[in-house]
Chain A
């Protein structure tokens, strides 16, 4: 009875909040529902098969890919797709579809122990752990320790863990069942201190690692590894990705989403889906149809300009994204805010190798464009500073267009670009959200 009242409350508040145009209406209703029934998350998931996804980067994408994979056989899957990844967001999503037999929940790193205890998941996906919003979250080493304690108390869950991240391995090491995935880790600086003995972790060029102090903490044997290769020749060549299993199986990962990190997320999702009964090939086939996640990666119009919107909010995320956009040579807008959801201290900008953008037209924008401008100045990146993000996109478009006509011919890998140069736009959390809300989908040409 109480659960039904709580669900009713959640839905009613969300509907009202949406009608009033306040946000996307997920958190307020969830909070109200949890006030009526503090155990609502536990009650709503009691008869569901649940998967949880957490980590510093890639949560939203992996959650989406896993939800799609788990729905491959026609099963309804409920998921907190809007990125509200704390319990109010979870109950809001779950209350919206109580009949779904499966749930995939994106979980904030700090909330994993609580959500794990409440939802008794069949699978838990641990992507990575690195510095993010240090002014409001705990040290990553502490988070890893909390995960470890929580997973030790959850023998029902199969953990799908990125074995290339020592902090993830430390957390998953106490779990009853783990599937180790060599998913890669470009940003390794937060994992140098051994979480097991406070010694030092050394990485080799191939990405394997071990504690050099000799405490025995080493990368576990991998169930499956993400491998990359090259397809085609010359300018038209593109990177291909495969999952290579230790038992000899091999599956190509084909996605509409770009970048190594998204293929890594897909492999983690495929292994999680397999743990829940979906064949890897079926899961990957379903994921191949996903062309955007919460507005990211597709071409959208901002202020009349064709843009590709992307989110990067910490050095690890930036390291991956620079690798992706670094292959391009078009104009790029970087928008940095430091509001509550971003963290108030943007000094992490100094950990990002912005010098890779020296040959690009760069426009710095957002609330903290001055911090970014000083950072770019010392990185040797010539740029324009414009505090209004919409104006910044227009400036990037105009500059990028006028500067160099040759660019047009170098865009083989961007088949959608007929109407002039596309502007890459990267923002941190609220900066991205602001631009997304100001954008509309572009017609595919």
Chain B
């Protein structure tokens, strides 16, 4: 494992509205803590998309979302790299545009990049805005714990037979097509509506993505354990993320430890 791990945050100028750039930073730090060299790139929309091992796409407004999809299709790199083993984490608007079809500002359908067998249309109800809790699907990859995040979208996403849901919604809306599912997975491409950013609240998912990028056959390595490829995993401290997870889960679905204590004032 001498080559550095290449992580690209895709089009932060178009898909950078909801702090999702944090996902790229989190992956980079965790890879470094595991002893890997990392190249983290903020890849702007006016340049060719760089060759990368992990691509992170975030949320964005309607107009920029359409432009991002058009540029990614013209550029071609994302689809080619996804077909040859690159890891893709696509959030919110990014999730919609890596599907087959998504709505523009006026609701008319636009062609997506087609990495995931999903189609999104403009929802009929109010925007889905709020906390989400999802239990990972049985056929979702890895052995992920409960997912927590914050959604803010007006689209409803229908999954085709080529993908499996990322999670079953136990709090919030998620895909919003009536199936009670959230997100979609196919191979090493994960799409989801969860901000937070997602990987800040779900470090186990970050480690799963890194496992995928670092190995041919991805074994899941829990935080702090020995890596199967012989690289020592630094015993880095996830207590801050654990505290955040506990608080968010308590604030939504409750827990045995009860709701967070009320503030004095």
Interface set of A (CB-CB < 8 Å, partner B): 131, 134-136, 139-141, 189-190, 192-193, 198, 200, 202, 212, 344-345, 347-351, 367, 370-371, 373-375, 377-378, 385, 388, 434, 438
B4 within 8 A of A: no
Indicate if the CB atoms of A192 and B14 lie closer than 8 Å. Answer: yes
* Distance (whole angstroms) from the CB of B156 to the closest CB of chain A: 18
- Which residues of chain B are within 8 angstroms of A345 by Cβ–Cβ distance? 18, 150, 152, 195
A388 to B261, CA, bound (A): 12
Indicate if the CB atoms of A375 and B247 lie closer than 8 Å. Answer: no
B240 within 8 A of A: yes
Specify which of A136, A367, A371 is in contact with B263 (CB 8 Å cutoff): A367
A377 to B201, CA, bound (A): 13
Extra inter-chain contacts (5) besides given A202-B46, A350-B197, A378-B25, CB under 8 Å: A136-B129, A189-B13, A198-B63, A350-B20, A374-B200
Indicate if the CB atoms of A374 and B19 lie closer than 8 Å. Answer: no
* Distance (whole angstroms) from the CB of A41 to the closest CB of chain B: 29
Q: Is the interface of B mostly helix, strand, loop or mixed?
A: mixed
- Which residues of chain A are within 8 angstroms of B25 by Cβ–Cβ distance? 350, 378
Specify which of A139, A349, A367 is in contact with B62 (CB 8 Å cutoff): A139
Specify which of B130, B150, B200 is in contact with A378 (CB 8 Å cutoff): B200
A358 to B14, CA, bound (A): 29
- Which residues of chain A are within 8 angstroms of B131 by Cβ–Cβ distance? 344
Indicate if the CB atoms of B45 and A344 lie closer than 8 Å. Answer: no
* Distance (whole angstroms) from the CB of B31 to the closest CB of chain A: 12
**A349 with B19, Cβ < 8 A, contacts A135-B152, A434-B265 known:** yes
Can you name 18 A-B pairs with beta carbons within 8 Å?
A135-B152, A189-B13, A192-B64, A193-B64, A200-B45, A347-B22, A347-B196, A347-B197, A351-B19, A351-B21, A370-B240, A370-B244, A373-B243, A374-B244, A377-B240, A377-B241, A378-B200, A438-B265
Specify which of A134, A349, A374, A434 is in contact with B152 (CB 8 Å cutoff): A134
- Which residues of chain B are within 8 angstroms of A373 by Cβ–Cβ distance? 240, 243-244
- Which residues of chain A are within 8 angstroms of B201 by Cβ–Cβ distance? 374
- Which residues of chain A are within 8 angstroms of B263 by Cβ–Cβ distance? 367
A345 to B26, CA, bound (A): 19
- Which residues of chain A are within 8 angstroms of B247 by Cβ–Cβ distance? 370
Minimum CB distance partner of B62 in chain A: A139
* Distance (whole angstroms) from the CB of B200 to the closest CB of chain A: 5
* Distance (whole angstroms) from the CB of B140 to the closest CB of chain A: 23
* Distance (whole angstroms) from the CB of A148 to the closest CB of chain B: 15
B16 within 8 A of A: yes
Specify which of B16, B63, B150 is in contact with A189 (CB 8 Å cutoff): B16
B80 within 8 A of A: no
- Which residues of chain B are within 8 angstroms of A348 by Cβ–Cβ distance? 18-19
B12 within 8 A of A: yes
A189 to B60, CA, bound (A): 12
Interface set of B (CB-CB < 8 Å, partner A): 12-14, 16-22, 25-26, 29, 45-46, 61-64, 66-67, 129-131, 150, 152, 195-197, 200-201, 237, 240-241, 243-244, 247, 263-265
* Distance (whole angstroms) from the CB of A56 to the closest CB of chain B: 14
**A350 with B19, Cβ < 8 A, contacts A192-B14, A198-B67, A367-B263 known:** yes
A426 to B94, CA, bound (A): 32
* Distance (whole angstroms) from the CB of B257 to the closest CB of chain A: 14
A198 to B26, CA, bound (A): 31
Indicate if the CB atoms of A350 and B200 lie closer than 8 Å. Answer: yes
Specify which of B22, B66, B237 is in contact with A375 (CB 8 Å cutoff): B22
Indicate if the CB atoms of A131 and B17 lie closer than 8 Å. Answer: yes
Minimum CB distance partner of B16 in chain A: A189
Specify which of A141, A202, A378 is in contact with B22 (CB 8 Å cutoff): A378
**4 closest A-B pairs by CB:** A350-B22, A347-B19, A350-B19, A370-B244
A193 to B201, CA, bound (A): 30
A310 to B15, CA, bound (A): 30
- Which residues of chain B are within 8 angstroms of A385 by Cβ–Cβ distance? 240, 243
A221 to B62, CA, bound (A): 30
- Which residues of chain B are within 8 angstroms of A367 by Cβ–Cβ distance? 263
- Which residues of chain A are within 8 angstroms of B240 by Cβ–Cβ distance? 370, 373-374, 377, 385
Indicate if the CB atoms of A135 and B129 lie closer than 8 Å. Answer: yes
A436 to B130, CA, bound (A): 29
Minimum CB distance partner of B29 in chain A: A378
Indicate if the CB atoms of B14 and A371 lie closer than 8 Å. Answer: no
**A347 with B14, Cβ < 8 A, contacts A193-B63, A375-B200, A378-B26 known:** no
A192 to B46, CA, bound (A): 11
Minimum CB distance partner of B12 in chain A: A189
A134 to B195, CA, bound (A): 12
A375 to B241, CA, bound (A): 9
**A193 with B61, Cβ < 8 A, contacts A198-B67, A347-B195, A371-B244 known:** yes
- Which residues of chain B are within 8 angstroms of A438 by Cβ–Cβ distance? 265
* Distance (whole angstroms) from the CB of A339 to the closest CB of chain B: 10
* Distance (whole angstroms) from the CB of A270 to the closest CB of chain B: 33
Indicate if the CB atoms of A139 and B264 lie closer than 8 Å. Answer: no
Minimum CB distance partner of B245 in chain A: A370
Minimum CB distance partner of B28 in chain A: A378
* Distance (whole angstroms) from the CB of B204 to the closest CB of chain A: 14
Minimum CB distance partner of B130 in chain A: A344
* Distance (whole angstroms) from the CB of B247 to the closest CB of chain A: 5
- Which residues of chain B are within 8 angstroms of A192 by Cβ–Cβ distance? 13-14, 64
**A141 with B16, Cβ < 8 A, contacts A347-B196, A434-B265 known:** no
A385 to B241, CA, bound (A): 13
